Amino acid sequence: MHELGITQNIVAIVSEHARGVPVKRVTLEIGQLSAIMPEAIRFCFDVCCQDTVLEGATLEIVEIPGLGKCRQCGFHTGISQPFGICDRCGSAELEIVQGQELKIKEMEIEEICV
């Protein structure tokens, strides 16, 4: 399960950017063509957050649908696999333009009163 290593990296990156301030929420964008299972990330998140500034943080995942652009006619079409057929001209020459991403979209930290 490569999602464990991915989740560990996400926690490390967010922890670094939080600079010791407790994190309340993390929002990820995961493309449906990325070969990353959102449910596996959710499963690993709490375990990976233990004893870090993310402990107790909420994880939000936004799934980004796959989108391909036909190299023949330029039409954009939704795809659910890394390959597909253009809905307009029937070409199998699709360039993936969306759906392979994994992004830490945002993080919310606790307000600190000084």
Question: Is 2 annotated as belonging to a binding site?
Answer: yes
Question: Is 44 annotated as belonging to a binding site?
Answer: no
Name all contacts of 32-37 with Cβ < 8 Å and 24+ positions apart: 32/63, 32/64, 32/65, 32/66, 32/80, 32/99, 33/66, 33/79, 33/80, 33/81, 33/82, 33/96, 33/99, 33/100, 34/99, 34/100, 34/101, 34/102, 36/2, 36/3, 36/6, 36/102, 37/3
Question: Is 70 annotated as belonging to a binding site?
Answer: yes
Residue given tokens 């190299």 in the structure block: 71
Question: Is 89 annotated as belonging to a binding site?
Answer: yes
Binding residues for Zn(2+): 70, 73, 86, 89
Binding residues: 2, 70, 73, 86, 89
Binding residues for Ni(2+): 2
